[in-house]
Structure 1
Amino acid sequence: MRSSNLGVIIAVRDEAAAILASAAYGWTKQSDGSYYSAARKIILNVCGIGKANAAFALGQMFHRIDEVIMFGTSGGLGQEKVGELYLCAEFVEHDMLATTLGVEPGVTPFSGMTSAVISYPNPATLQKIQEICRQENLPLKTGRTLSGDQFMHSKELAQAKAAQYGGQLVDMESAAAAKICQRLKKPFCALRYITDNADHNATTSWQENVKISAGYFERVLASI
């Protein structure tokens, strides 16, 4: 058992359904969207969609945890297949555009960032998740996630963003939490399940696949 709390952030309750339904955690509700498992030393926050909500959730738990894992669904940006599970340690805030201030796309001005890529993982956690997925026969890959407050439903836009930032997945939360964790030196990674491609079928595909993703997330978290 860990001696310190693990922070878990999930944007949407449907994505957290299997974890919240498991009696093994003995969840105690602390506030709207926030739960604590004394048995597993996990603080879970179901934060809502978007970068601001993810940052707020992280702020609520930050002084009580030593590490953060985000679980959630993502869109694929290119050749990624629905049903694939991605372990992500690199993130880009694709809607951070301040080039007129002399910085590259994805770089926050006056922040000290020298690259658009945000990365501060715990190698041991990455290895542990990879081992769990092998044991559970879950189809795990690695990739870079692009995050922004923009739901991508255009194939052309998705391809342009992928080419610009070297990404494979898109979501609306990960980079915001990763940026804060990197700045304050708390490890962060994300496990994302591809429920759709960033095209005109995105909404329907997400609704059909989120239940599968919730089961995957519970199987991984149960073994961490």
Structure 2
Amino acid sequence: MRLGIISALDEEQHGLVEAMQDPATLIHGMRTYTSGRLAGVDAVCVLSRIGKVAAATTASVLIEKFGVTHLLFTGVAGAGDAGVRVGDIVIADSLVQYDMDCSPLFPAFEVPLTGLSHFASDQRLANLTASAAHGFLDTDFEVAISADERREFGLSMPRIHRGLIGSGDRFLSSASEVNAINASLPGLLAVEMEGAAVAQVCFELGVPFAVIRTISDNANEAAATDFMRFVKAIASRYAFHIVMRVCRGLG
């Protein structure tokens, strides 16, 4: 197997390339792809940049040019439900493009000519990712995140959620927007800007995938203020430890 690891931002993948054995770098299509062995697994790391088109392009290249057999997207997201808090982890069981609407030609949210609105994750890879996340919280969390940082960001007993993630080409920064999306998509746990596009590419090309997101903000009026500080200080460490655990589980 060959694992493709995608993140939108550099901070969401911090340390993974440095941890690779025998890394080799190739620049293609304005992306830097680094291949090597990560915890014993043949892997390719790349930053997609932000948005659905960027993510879909990157996933397609990973599959078609680099021959990855499995894809893992890791990064941050806004909470899509009041029960999901900053510092929690959401693992997608399925993903939907919340801004896809070709009605009345097709039902709202359905991707035309696929017959699907929700794209299901690979259960084996999602289960392994969930196990890695549990291992991180049980073993690594208090070592990786200092007491001062936990206090600053209000991280108290983070939880793991599994369910629906919504993707769209908007940085949501008002509670009313999230509430409107949530009303149309019951069970929505998190909102972000890439995962459902990767899910569609993987569905069409027959590649197993999983998406894991650390909740960085509440997708409300404070989201832009919280976002980058949290990504740099907290989410980068979540991602490193969890992805390394996933690779050890695959190895």
Q: 1:77, CA displacement in angstroms?
A: 1.8
Q: Which runs of 4+ in 1 moved over 6 A?
A: none
Letter in 1 for 2:133: C
Maintained 8 Å contact 2:76/2:216: yes
Q: 1:24, CA displacement in angstroms?
A: 4.4
Whether 1:208 and 2:211 are equivalent positions in the alignment is: no
SS in 2 for 1:181: helix
Letter in 2 for 1:68: L
> TM-score under structure 1 normalisation?
0.90
**Partner residue, 1:60:** 61
**Partner residue, 1:87:** 91
CA RMSD, 1 decimal: 1.6
Matches within 5 A, 1:165-204: 165-166=185-186, 167-204=188-225
**Partner residue, 2:136:** 136
**Partner residue, 1:69:** 72
The unaligned stretches of length 5 or more in structure 2 are: 139-158, 247-251
**Partner residue, 1:28:** 24
Letter in 2 for 1:222: M
**Partner residue, 1:221:** 243
**Distance across 2 between alignment mates of 1:199 and 1:27:** 40
CA offsets 1:168-212 (integer angstroms, 9 cap, x no match): 111110001101111222111101000001111111111221121
> TM-score under structure 2 normalisation?
0.81
Aligned-residue identity in percent? 23
**Distance across 1 between alignment mates of 2:199 and 2:12:** 19
**Distance across 1 between alignment mates of 2:114 and 2:122:** 22
Maintained 8 Å contact 1:67/1:186: yes
Q: How many residues align?
A: 216
**Partner residue, 2:11:** 14
Letter in 2 for 1:35: T
